[in-house]
Amino acid sequence: MGVSVSIAAILGIIGAWAGSVLQSGGKLCRSIALMLVGGLLFAVGLPLVLHAGAWESTAGKFGWLMLTQTGARAEGTSQYGIFAGLVAAGWIHGLYGAAIVTLTTWHGVRRTPSAMIQQSRLDLPPMAAWWRVRLPMAAPWFLLGLLITALLAASEMTVVDLYGFRTIADEFYLFYATDPSLLAVFVACAMPLAISAWLVGWMLASRRQTIATQSDQGYTADEAETYPPFANALAGMVGLGLVSLIVGVPMIGLLIKLGHEVVVVDGTVEASWSWGESASRLFSAPRDFASEYQWTAIIAMLAGSCSLLIASPLAVLGRTKARWEPWLDGVSVIAFVIPGPIVGMVVVWIFQRSVPGFGYLYQQTLVPTLIAVLVRAVPVSYWILRSSFRGISDSILDTSRLDASPLRRFFAIHRPLLARGWFAAALAGALVASGDLPATLPVIPPGVTTVGTRLFGLLHSGARYQEAALSIWYVLVVVVISSLFVRLTLASKLRSS
């Protein structure tokens, strides 16, 4: 948690500054800002097992940078090399967290009240005002990103299990998931739940002291600062560098690994790379891993639809009944941070009860798997819809309740105003469910293999061209989804600024 949060904090602040400056620049700067948003959303949309696979292809035991295992021994450094254990796990979690912290901090900076921006212009130049006024005002959002990073590091076991760095969640997955005790469950949940309880309390306190109103008048998109040219140039380099580090380098590692061959000839290691082999392996992957892609798509579509159906009435309830919203927020946060192995274990325990039909459902259907992945998918969809409902003013909601029935309100008001939000919530729920490997592993039925479970098994022996080919097609799907998400939710705001 400490290593991940440290990396995310440093890179997140720098990325938020670069995005804020680029957003206030000319057309080229705004294009780079849009690229930065798209790249970071793409990184967040990829499950951690794919991040691990990409970095293993880049710097792992068979990676092209040769920072560990065989490459490290060749240089005479150590048995395990640089990219292993805490370094590898903290680096991958830290970069993933950096994408989250950048987005949350950038959002918080944009919510600086207009009056404070105008006041700061009297005493400080734009650059100094950003660091001394706008960033401190965005501290709650920066802290939120760090907390999410810490919670993922505390509750995720995918990456640490690959690199043999034993955390509490990984210990539970390895030794207690099949035969849990109350003490083991308590120890595994204690830290994530303690942090989430503090987060929920902070959210409740912030409701009473919030500065921005429901109409989002605190946004400064229409009163953007004018930064000097050198700041725009530096921000452009920082933004492109951050996207390259979080997305570009590991993706290049996957592409190189796709056509990379290492053979031993007369005791000498020889490496080669071929365009033809890359193309052949890439186009054969949909056939070789057809079952994995199909099951992943089925689970993702079912989970996206179910998460939307469950989250929509919850978001409506929270928006129309103010007393319910804090409770819904708290439950959603707690559900999201419960370690995946514990979720899977609870689902297994439920379906092993002596209830007619449970045995069939557990062994022959995807119902247990779907329930397990919805524990995290529903909160993600809920928060997207919650934000979308916040964009509808109280006057519209009050007037509609006087003049229209619930069904008519849905078709006449909610549907046209929230269409993008619903689509984004379904996409996000599907994406989260498709990559929720910790919750999936204990409950997936026999004969069903997803991209995540297959990749997780293959990566334990190192990344080779099979893993790269399996990952690239999943990555392409995430690219398409991220592009749709940016186009639907963020592109118009960035262009209007």
Q: What DSSP line would sit under 382-403, residue for residue?
A: HHHHHHHHHTS-HHHHHHHHHH
Alpha helices in 63-131 (DSSP H): 70-75, 85-110, 114-123, 126-129
Q: Are residues 299 and 183 in the same domain?
A: no
DSSP state, 323?
T
Give the helix/strand (H/E) hosting 493: helix 491-496
Max mean pLDDT among 29-43, 46-60, 184-198 falls in 29-43
* Structure tokens belonging to residue 61: 């035991």
Best mean pLDDT range from 100-114, 197-211, 450-464: 100-114
Q: Residue type at 69? A: Q
In whole angstroms, give the CA distance from residue 109 to residue 295: 41
Taken as a whole, the chain contains a residue count of 497
Structure tokens at 471: 């990952």
Which amino acid is located at 376 in the chain? R
Same-domain status, 300 and 357: yes
Residue 409 — pLDDT band, cuts 50, 70, 90? low
At 257-313, the pLDDT tens digits run 777 766 666 666 566 777 877 788 888 888 888 888 888 889 989 999 999 899 888
Q: Within a 10 A sphere around the Cβ of 331, how many other Cβ atoms?
A: 15
Of 313, 352, 257, nearest to 58 (Cα)?
A: 257
The answer to whether residue 472 is domain-embedded is: no
Which pLDDT score, from 0 to 100, does residue 493 have? 53
For residue 283, is it within any domain? no
**Alpha carbon of residue 300 to chain centroid:** 15
Overall pTM > 0.85: no
Same domain flag for 354 and 439? yes
Residue 20 domain flag: yes
Mean of the pLDDT values across residues 48-53? 84
Q: Residue 273: which H helix or E strand, with range?
A: strand 268-273
Token readout for 149 is 């990073």
Inter-CA distances, 167 with 68, 100, 449, Å: 21, 22, 26
Question: 264 - beta bridge partners?
Answer: 269
Question: Residue 88 above 80 pLDDT?
Answer: yes
Identify which has the larger pLDDT, 401 or 206: 401
Position 79 scores a pLDDT of: 44
Lowest mean pLDDT among 2-16, 318-332, 405-419: 405-419
Whether 493 maps to a domain, the answer reads no
Question: Phi first, then psi: what are they for 79, rounded to 5°?
Answer: -65, -35
- Residue-wise pLDDT for 189-247, tens only, equals 777 777 766 766 666 565 555 444 434 444 444 345 677 788 888 988 999 999 999 98
CA distance 389 to 404: 18
What six digits make up the tokens of 40? 């970071």
Which residues lie closer than 8 Å to 298 by C-beta, 6 or more apart? 366
331 belongs to a structural domain: yes
pLDDT of amino acid 201? 66
Crossing angle between the packed helical segments 139-155 and 2-23, to the nearest 10 degrees: 140
| Residues 6, 120 within the same domain | yes
DSSP state of 181: -
User: What value does the mean pLDDT take over residues 16-23?
Assistant: 89
The number of CA neighbours under 13 Å toward the Cβ of 172 is: 31
pLDDT at 63: 61
**One domain, residues 240 and 356:** no
Indicate whether 72 and 1 sit together in one domain: yes
SS3 270: strand
Q: Which pLDDT score, from 0 to 100, does residue 26 have?
A: 80
Would you tell me how many other CB atoms lie within 10 Å of the CB of residue 206?
12
Q: Averaged over 350-377, what is the pLDDT?
A: 86
Q: Does the CA dihedral 453-457-462-466 come out positive or negative?
A: negative
d(CA 235, CA 231): 6
Per-residue pLDDT tens digits for 421-451: 788 888 888 888 888 888 888 888 888 888 8
pLDDT at 373 over 70: yes
- The domain that holds 227 is classified in CATH as 1.10.3720.10
To which residue do tokens 């959603």 refer?
332
Q: What is the DSSP letter of 271?
A: E
Residues 76 and 111 in one domain: yes
Lookup: tokens for 57: 């292809």
Q: Tell me how far apart the alpha carbons of residues 233 and 239 are, in angstroms, rounded to a whole number.
A: 10
Mean pLDDT, the chain, rounded, equals 77
Measured in degrees and rounded to the nearest 5, phi and psi for residue 262 equal: -125, 120
Residues 258 and 361 in one domain: no
Confidence at 3, pLDDT banded by 50, 70, 90: very high
Could you tell me if residue 351 is inside a domain?
yes
192 and 308 both lie in a single domain: no
Kindly state the helix (H) or strand (E) to which residue 471 belongs, with its residue range. Answer: helix 465-489
Instruction: Give yes or no: residues 344 and 236 share one domain.
Output: no
SS3 of 268, please?
strand
Sign of the torsion formed by the C-alpha atoms of 341, 342, 347 and 349: positive
Rounded to an integer, the average pLDDT of 399-426 is 71
Domain count across the chain: 2
Specify whether 293 is located in the same domain as 258: no
- Bridge partners (DSSP) of residue 271 are 262
Sign of CA dihedral 328, 334, 340, 341: negative
pLDDT over 70, % of the chain: 74
Whether residue 66 contacts residue 25, with contact meaning beta carbons closer than 8 Å, is answered with no
Report yes or no on 387 lying in a domain. Answer: yes
**What does the pLDDT read at residue 74?**
38
**pLDDT bracket for residue 251 (50, 70, 90):** confident
Cβ burial, residue 120 (10 Å; 0-12/13-18/19+): buried
- Residue 212, judged by CB atoms within 10 A of its CB (0-12, 13-18, 19+), counts as middle
Amino acid letter for position 151: L
Contacts of 235 (CB under 8 A, 6+ apart): 17, 18, 19, 21, 22, 25, 29, 227
Whether residues 416 and 307 share a domain: the answer is yes
Residue 203 pLDDT: 60
Better-predicted residue by pLDDT, 178 or 381 = 381
Domain residues for the domain of 400 are: 289-460
Would residue 319 count as lying in a domain? yes
